[in-house]
Chain A
Amino acid sequence: MSGQLASSFAALGSAPAVLVTLVAELLLLALRAWSVTTRLVLTRQVHLLLDGAVIALGLLFVLLVFLRFVTVG
């Protein structure tokens, strides 16, 4: 599945790739909001990992949406 999604620019710009990234990003954002609000005790490394993943996935999401506009639109 992941191989098919990443097989070409067109595949990267396809609806499933964008959708998967979107859902993953939303889940990570929700996880971060929940963990900070409930003052969950996390190590600095985990905090950094979470922030890094949110930023990386966010950038990937923007990139995939851009590819979708270019390849499909």
Chain B
Amino acid sequence: MDDLAVGVKAARSHWATALEAGAAIAALGVGSFVLWVVSVRSAVFGDMGQLGLVSVLGRSFFFGLALAVLAFVIELLRTPLREGRLLALTVLLVLFLFGTACAIEPVAALTSSWVHAGYVQYVFVHGRPLENYNAEFSWPGAFSLGAVVISFMGQSNALDLLRWFPLVIELLYLAPLLAIARASGVNRRSQWLGIALFYATNWIYQDYFSPQALNFLFFLVVIAVVLTGWSPVQRAVAPRVGRLRDRLGAWRGAVTIRRLRGEDAATSWSVNQVLGCLALLSLIFLASAVSHQLTPYAIFLALIACLLSGRLGRPELVGFVFCLAVGWLSLGASNFWFGHLNLIFGSIGQLGSSIGQNVSQRVTGAASHRLIVDVRILLTVALFGLAVLGAARRGATSRTLELLVCAPFVLFAVQNYGGEGLLRVVLLAGPFAALLAASALFPSREGPIPPILPDFQIRRYPRVILATVAGIVLFSFAVTTMVVRGGNDAYESFSSGELLAVNYAYAHVPAGKTIGVVAPYLPIGQRGVGSVTVFNAAGSASSTPTFNQMLVKMVAARTSYVVLSAAQYEWGLIIAGYPTGWLHTLELTLHHAGDRVVARWSTAIVMRLAKGT
């Protein structure tokens, strides 16, 4: 009887402790969410400084973020893992990182998202893309999908989708990320920490309303299906790969006919499930091939990585995505490359030039901007450095994650993608690098491929030390990403007044005429695709004109309307190095040249070229 009483007491004590810990984590999560709401409601968009979004976030935001990270790390180290709570805390982290800008900024950020809304609008109205307009319209799949979606919604344009799109698409990424993590071979704690690290280091602003955001979802879904569907065939006698010589021999073994035929991968799915997935993947390949220039080739390389590491049982998929991508480029996107093939093949092998365009040319502008760019580079290096450590510390059944990290870099050697290639490559390698980075803290030591580095035991308080290190790493990455992700928001986010100014100009400019802007930092492009031209005096990003050159260009352009705004002013100060008050000087210059102010808001003015001038 006494034993029973002791047992009941112990069980009660265990449950009480678990409940207390669960309640504490729930309280931390709820407190964190409340602080997010408070910080978002108290942020004043108009007070934004040169450091962008972070300059309007108060202490409550960072305190709330710290609570979210603390709750996540405590939950991560509990036994057993409670997946539902970890999922809820991951969603909370995503809200902090990607929902804050959406909630604070009055209209959608980034001119490109407005331009893409304009393309969707064009397809919605005309039922087809505009021929010979620009490169993006040669891959119109995402715009066609957008037109279908707004038609289903009973809307006449996609503008309502823009503002919260980054948060929604990042949450959509979560499902394939979970599947990838579960099938990746890293242990459960590394899976959750890896997903959190991916979000906490995703400063690359490619989740706005765009084909690439949609295609990154396609990419993740394809990899998730492949990794979930196929696993390496377990050999009866595992090869010895302890010594360096054995390891090199094992790598040579990756390129065998047997492996290239997909016979080193096995599936537990039924025939119908496999056929269904093949059909689904083929549809995704087709959708990707007609909607984005780069992603189909990233999928192609990632599938090769899976094939070489024994994680793909159907090599036909590699051929399928390659043929569809090249076929569309050759036939469907011929308007893009007629007469300028160098856009496609010009940067092959020119690695030095590509690195120059992708890295050094971006480290320009005011000190605040250079700081943001420098920190972005450091953050990326830190993630990939941790990934290298994780790859060396973990034991595994295959090196698929390592190959998936390396695969996108082949793209960079072939195509610099207008100076954005490295950004895209880092984004595409990010989820896998984050899982490896998490393995640096929680390595799995099992599998036929042994770890390169020996294990080291933390003798005292291992759980506390691991929790502290994981918390510091995650919080540091998350704060850094918050700073650098919104680091350009001083000129890439817009006020309601700027949108009203653009709408005014569109409402009054006759078809066939031009709206002039100093730099493309306005919510512009959502109307008049093909009928109203936007003149941009700044030209391409690589050749910013001096202030005097810009004045001459603006006067000489003689555009029907000119829209000047606070975002353009900030761009002039931060990136172009124009003098303080330059916008007023430009306004006076245009006034002398015959332009008259016809509408004015606190953050924007619209000028019209007077008749007879």
Binding site for B on A (CB under 8 A): 15, 18-19, 22, 25-26, 29-30, 32-34, 36-39, 54, 58, 61-62, 65, 68-69, 72-73
Contacts and interface: CB of A to CB of B under 8 A. Distances in A.
Nearest to B274: A37
B314 A15 contact: no
Identify the interface centre among A32, A36, A38, A54: most chain B CB within 10 Å of its CB: A36
Given A30-B316, A37-B271, A72 B326 contact: no
Interface centre among A26, A37, A69 (most CB of B within 10 A): A37
A20 B289 CA distance: 18
Contacts of B418: none
22 contacts: A18-B327, A19-B331, A22-B327, A22-B331, A29-B319, A29-B323, A30-B320, A33-B314, A33-B316, A33-B317, A37-B271, A37-B274, A54-B319, A58-B323, A61-B326, A61-B327, A65-B327, A72-B334, A72-B338, A73-B338, A73-B339, A73-B341
Contacts of A65: 326-327, 329-330
Given A33-B314, A72-B338, A26 B275 contact: no
A36 B316 CA distance: 10
B337 A69 contact: yes
Interface string B262-295: 1000000001001100100010000000000000
Interface in B590-611: none
Interface of B: 262, 271, 274-275, 278, 282, 314, 316-317, 319-320, 323-324, 326-327, 329-331, 334, 337-339, 341
Given A18-B327, A65-B330, A33 B338 contact: no
Contacts, number: 60
Contacts of A32: 316
B341 A22 contact: no
A43 B326 CA distance: 32
B204 to A, nearest CB: 31
Contact of A61 (B262, B316, B323, B334): B323
A65 B326 CA distance: 8
A37 B314 contact: yes
B319 A25 contact: yes
Contacts of A22: 323, 327, 331
A29 B275 contact: no
Contacts of B282: 30
4 closest A-B pairs by beta carbon, nearest first, are A33-B316, A22-B327, A73-B341, A29-B316
Contacts of A25: 319, 323
Contact of B275 (A34, A54, A72): A34
B323 A38 contact: no
Given A19-B331, A36-B262, A37-B274, 5 more contacts: A19-B327, A30-B282, A34-B275, A37-B275, A69-B341
Nearest to A62: B326
B319 A18 contact: no
Nearest to B317: A33
B342 to A, nearest CB: 10
A69 B337 CA distance: 8
Contacts of A54: 316, 319
A36 B313 CA distance: 10
A69 B339 CA distance: 10
B222 to A, nearest CB: 15
Given A18-B331, A22-B327, A29 B341 contact: no
Contacts of B337: 69, 73
Contact of A38 (B275, B317, B319, B341): B275
A73 B314 CA distance: 34
A38 B271 contact: yes
Contact of A58 (B319, B339, B341): B319
A65 B333 CA distance: 13
A26 to B, nearest CB: 6
A26 B314 CA distance: 14
B194 to A, nearest CB: 31
B522 to A, nearest CB: 35
A33 B271 CA distance: 11
B195 to A, nearest CB: 31
A25 B116 CA distance: 34
A72 B324 CA distance: 20
A64 B274 CA distance: 32
A22 B341 CA distance: 21
A69 to B, nearest CB: 6
Contacts of A73: 337-339, 341
A3 B341 CA distance: 29
B263 to A, nearest CB: 9
Contacts of A39: 271
A68 B344 CA distance: 14
A23 B333 CA distance: 17
Contact of B320 (A19, A26, A36, A68): A26
Nearest to B338: A73
A65 B327 CA distance: 8
A33 B278 contact: yes
A60 to B, nearest CB: 11
Nearest to A66: B330
A15 B334 CA distance: 10
A61 B339 CA distance: 22
A58 to B, nearest CB: 6
Nearest to A25: B323
Given A30-B316, A68-B330, A72-B338, A37 B278 contact: yes
A5 B331 CA distance: 16
A62 B330 CA distance: 10
Contacts of A38: 271, 275
Contacts of B317: 33
